Structure formats: structure tokens, C-alpha cells
Structure 1
Amino acid sequence: MAEYLPSAEWTQRQDLAALVAALGADNVRWVGGAVRDTLLGHDVRDIDAATPLEPAAVMERLRAAGIRAVPTGIDHGTVTAVLPRGPVEITTLRHDVSTDGRRATIAFAQDWREDAARRDFTINALYAAPDTLEIFDWFGGLADLAAQRVRFIGEARQRIREDHLRILRYFRFQARFGAELDAEAEEACAELAATLKGLSRERVAGELLNLLGLPDPGDTVARMLALGVLPVVLPEAGTRGIEALDRLVANERAVDIAPNPIRRLAALLPPLPAVAETVAARLRLSKAQRERITRAAARGAEDALQPRALAYREGIDCAIDRLLLTGADVAPLIGWQVPELPLKGGEIVTRGVAAGPEVARTLRKVESRWIEEGFPGRDRVNGILDEVLGDI
């Protein structure tokens, strides 16, 4: 008996209808996350389509219909249609010619099932016809979705040998969708964990941060540690790190602060800036990410004493990170805007202080007093300046 995708807001988009008309309804099927998340009743952010048309034909038909087409991954068969309500990636049906665990050589195909077979998990290999919304499920993805089970298509060890990153993808999908553990997948991930060493650090970091950004990854990360997967990609993390991550997640929920993957990565590490620097370099984090995790690693019990002073000196994000990581009260920072000292160096010069180093020293003294007194207004700043100048 045929199964159908429930009608959702995105399935009724006019710009998607125009896309289907340009390519032909028989040449398009929605695939992957949009289908899976609609079945689960989740919001759909990204829409992907599969087609038997080769990229050149896709580009030609889209342009003829006045739809901007960008060859974002044309070597692998992907063209992005730029639509008014968001881009859609359209990928030609494929099959793998060869794989080495890091990359695949592909050839274009005409068979929908063959394309589905090269996908990683059954719940990601669900296709839907755009006109009828009929679902095509060759590998039991619907049953696995209902059972909250993340299962590889085919033999788990073989699928991991094709692409080692699937180990981390398995745990990410397990944390997001899974309840029932798949013994074959767990054993395969543990057995082949060492293969993760051959992947680019950027790919590893991307999957790790995506996992840590989920609502509650704690149990999954703990299982990664127990199975020997986490030590391969993050040897600095241990049992204490898992416990710290669990506390952090609880603290975030208590004050309704959104998860941040860098903050959670910091929780897994010892509170040592040098260790954070090492991890950031190894994972090739961005400059902003590296700065954030290093500052979070400098946390200490004294942060709780003057949270607003901490926010002023280190920035609001850093202060919130450190307070949450240490279990301190973040209430003084919720909705608070970091103020600017209402005093300029030129005003000090007009009070008779010669321009130069003495102005800067005076400004620092006033600022320090201003912070200690809880950021009072302009009148009190003038009073502080009078007192500071009186001591010179």
C-alpha cells in the first residue's frame, strides 16, 4: 500500500511548482531531510531534489524557465536553483564507481533505487513525488523512522569503509532521531573508529559541532567515549568532560539559553586555555571559534563574583559561556547591554592633564572605579574623575 507525504507548507510553494514544471514532474523527487522531517512533523529548512537529468540539462531547463541556476557541485552532479523562497539543491542520480573512505568517484545513473542505495541511512533515503507526494522507500526507512532507529543501508562496516565520516554522522543522527540502538551500527563504529584519523580535520570538526549543537547530545557523546570513538577525534575529553557537558546542558535549559556547540566543546575539555588552543588548531576552527573556546577555557570560580564586570571586559558571549560552564548565575546578564564608559580622553585634557600617557592612566583608573561601582551614570563618572584627579 502506497504511503504519502502529508501536505506541508513547503510542498505548496509556488516557486517549487515552477521548478518542477521546468524540469518535468517525472524528473524530480524530493529527497532526504525535507521528506524525513515532514514525516516527523519538524520544521523543514533545506529542500533537496534528485533527478535523472544530467547537470547540463538541468541548467538548460532552469535557465529556459527564467530560474537562476548555479553549478555549486557540478562535478558531483549538483546544481542549485535560486528561488524566491530559498535555494534548492538538485542532484543527478548517481552510483559509486570507487571509494576510499574519504572521497568517492561517482557516475551518473538513471535508476532511483540505485541512487537511494548509495545514501547512508534508511531514514535519509526516502523520496517523494512532487505532484502526488507518494513516498518511495526501498530500504525500510519508514519503519525505522517510526521505531526511532538509525540504520545503515546495507552492511554497516562496508558503508563506513566507503566513507569514514559516516561514523560521526551515525552518532549525530542517533542523537537527533534515535531511541532504539542498532547493534550492528554500534559495533561497526567501534571497530572502525581509527579510520577517522584519515579524514580532514574540517570534516571532523563540522560533524562534531553539529552533534554538540543538538538539544541534548550528552548520552550519545558518552557512548562515543565508551565505544572508543571520541578518543580518536577528541582525546582530551574524558569522563569528567562528559559530566561537565551534562551539567552545562542542564544549566542552559534552566535559564532557556540556546545551545552553542563551541561552548559545549569547551565543556568537554579541561579548563586550560593551552588545551583549548591545541584542540582549536587541530580541528582548524575559525578565528572567532578559536577565540571563544580559548576564553571559555579560562573560566574560574571568581567569574561569579562580578558577572557584569566580566561581560564588560570579556564580552557578553564569553561571560555567559563561563558562567554556564561553572554553574554560576547568569541572571544579571540576561537582557543586559554592555555599557560604554561615558568619558573620553579629551575631557581629561580639558581638566588640565597633559595629552599623553597620563591621560590613558587616568582613564583606566576612572574606568576601573566605574566598573567596581556597577557602571553608574555620567554624574557619578564626573565625581570619580574629580577624585582620581585629586589624587594625582
Structure 2
Amino acid sequence: MDSLSMVTGLRNSADVLFLMLGAVMVFAMHAGFAFLEVGTVRKKNQVNAFVKILTDWSVSTVAYFLVGFPISYGISFLVPAGDLLGTTQGYDLVRYFFLLCFAACIPAIISGGIAERAKFWPQVLAGAIFAGVSYPLFESLIWGQNASLLQGFFKSVGGAEFHDFAGSVVVHSVGGWLALPAVLVLGPRMGRYVRGKSHPIPISNIPFLALGSWILAVGWFGFNVMSAGHVEKISGLVAVNSLLAMVGGVLAAIVAGRNDPGFVHNGALAGLIAICAGSDIMHPLAAFATGAVASVIFVYGFQYEQERLKIDDVLGVWPLHGVIGTWGGIAAGIFGQPLFGGMGGVSFVSQFLGSLAAVVFALVNGFLVYGILSRTVGIRLTDEQEFAGADLSIHQIGAYPEDHVR
């Protein structure tokens, strides 16, 4: 083997290892989704939260492997195993693994909004559709094989392509806005709103909620930094911007949320969601501001959603992922400008249009899928099942089985 071939082989191996480590970090984030939901729902629905997240992950893995990744990038894995390695040590395979972790975030996000009253299998089917078809279609238009179509439009109108480095819009906004139709079609939980009055339902476990937030926050550095895709493209700026945005979200939530632990731990996630899009082009102080604004949006947005609009979105995934994901896309068009210390190359018009396109795409898909499921197989538990809890109704066991031993 000549020296050039050896260098190429080492570079390919380094890229495979780099992206695989990122994939594992983002995979671990799904444990964060699980614990965040488990800590927020009541005890009688904790088992259901754990099983939903793991099942959705597994179904998404198959759907994205067979259908989604080929839709997004035009690469099929239905060839002999030897051909899968190619000349890059299987880089496309580990790239699929990494991007699967993004696709599987969609049903994980939705799960938190519809918790405690949704049927199990209809939601698994909806998650498969979103991870295997809906999300990959939008992904293909922004990052994938069809990007020239939509990105060409943005560039012709706004002067630059739509910039979403790590998925504020492609992943989080799409997931959050897909969740809104699900929550609206399902309706509120029993007893949440009675005769027009709000009756907040207490959460079950603050330590589990906090654990979920911490797991997500740590894994997020794989989500953002490893979005570079190759070792030579790794950016310390992305890492520090992610850190500053997270901290900005926490500090803003402490003030705006008046020390409420739920707001504080979700404030960290708000900052991380918002910074995904522009983490590679913003100044760290702009990232801090982006995260702080995102956190304030979540605190007041969650309260407005729950108390004024009377939308029973259990984990607040619409304001957290949907609205803040949209903010992240727009913020990249503001703070990415040289005027604010950014690296430039972005257009506010393109960022606004791209963020709006995701909202429209997700709402149409969400209402279509959940509307059809609601009118056919149904998507909500019966009153008796909901009262007993999803754990006993669906899984025939509670989170603490010894409590039922006499």
C-alpha cells in the first residue's frame, strides 16, 4: 500500500469513527427524551413513556433504513454487504446511523405532547410514517438529494441558501409543529380543563425530569458538533456556541420562570434547540442571547399555550421544539450577520422563508396523518383506559409493581 492510499484509508477510518461517536451520543439523547417524559407524566403512565420511546426508535431504525435514507440522499443499502463498505470503510452506513438519530427525534418529540391518552399502535404507525416518509422528504429538500430545488428558490429570493447547520428547523421545528395537530386532534386529558377552567395536572418526578434534561444536554454536543460530518470540518465554535446557548437558556429560565425546576431544565433544552441552526456561524455572545430569548419564548409560550389557548401539550413540545426551532432558524439569519459578530453568508429573508416552509410542511403532514388515523383506527384511549393509566391499560404492569402486591 502506498503512502497516499494509507493516508486516505486513515482519513476515511477517522471520519467513520468521528461520526459513529456522534451517532452514539445522539442515540443516548433518546434516553433523555424518555426520562424527560417519565418525569413529567403521572406514575400511571411512566412505563408507557419508556416503551413508546424505545419502540419508536426501533421502528424508525427500520423505516429510515429501508425508505427514509434513500428518499433523503438517494442511497440504498439493498446491496451485498461487501458493497456497503465501498472504498470509505462504510462511511455511508455510519452516516445513516447518525442521521437516523435525527429522524427518530420526530416521534420522540411528538410522544411528549400526546402523553397519557394516546393509543399505542396508531402512534407507532404515525411515527413510522414521519420517520420513513414525511421527515425524509423535507430533509431531502434542505440537506439531501433534492436540495437544489428549494435551496435554489431561497437563494434567488433571499440571496443565500437556507442555513440549518444541525437542525433547529429540519429536526426540531418539524417535530414540534407535527406534534401540534396530534395534540389538537387528541384533545386534552380527562380533568385538565373543566367548564373552561384550567386544572393543572401535577408531574410525578422532578429528579427524572432533571435527569432527562441532563442526558439530552450532554448528547447535544454530539448532535451539533458531529454535524460537521468529517474530522477536518470539526469546529470548536460550534461546541462553545452550544454551551453558551444552553447556559443562556438556563439563566433566562431562572428569572422568567421564577426558579421553577421544570422551566429551568427545559430552558437548557430551549437554548440548545435554538442554536442548532446557526451554531457554526454565530459569535458565542450571540449564541448566549439566542438561547436566552429561546428560553423566555418557552416560559411564556408554554403558559400561553396551556392557560390561554387551553392546549394540553403535556411536555410543551410545540413551544419548545416547534416555536423555538422556528426561532433558531430565524436567529441564524440575524446573529449570523457580521453586524453581530457572525461569519455572514446567510440571509434573513431566506432564513425566514425556510423556517416558514417547515411550519407549513409539518402542519399539513400532521393534520393529514392524525386526521386519517383518528377517523379510521382511532388514536385515543377510552375514558376507562385513560383513568386506569396507559401502563396498566396497554402494558398490563405499572412502574412500581410491588405497590400492587397485597
TM value normalised by structure 1: 0.22
More helix by share: 2
Query: For the pair shown, which has the larger CA radius of gyration, 1 or 2?
Result: 1
Flag the structure with higher strand content.
Answer: 1
Q: For CA contacts below 8 A with separation 6 or more, give which structure has more relative contact order.
A: 2
**TM-score normalised to the size of structure 2?**
0.22
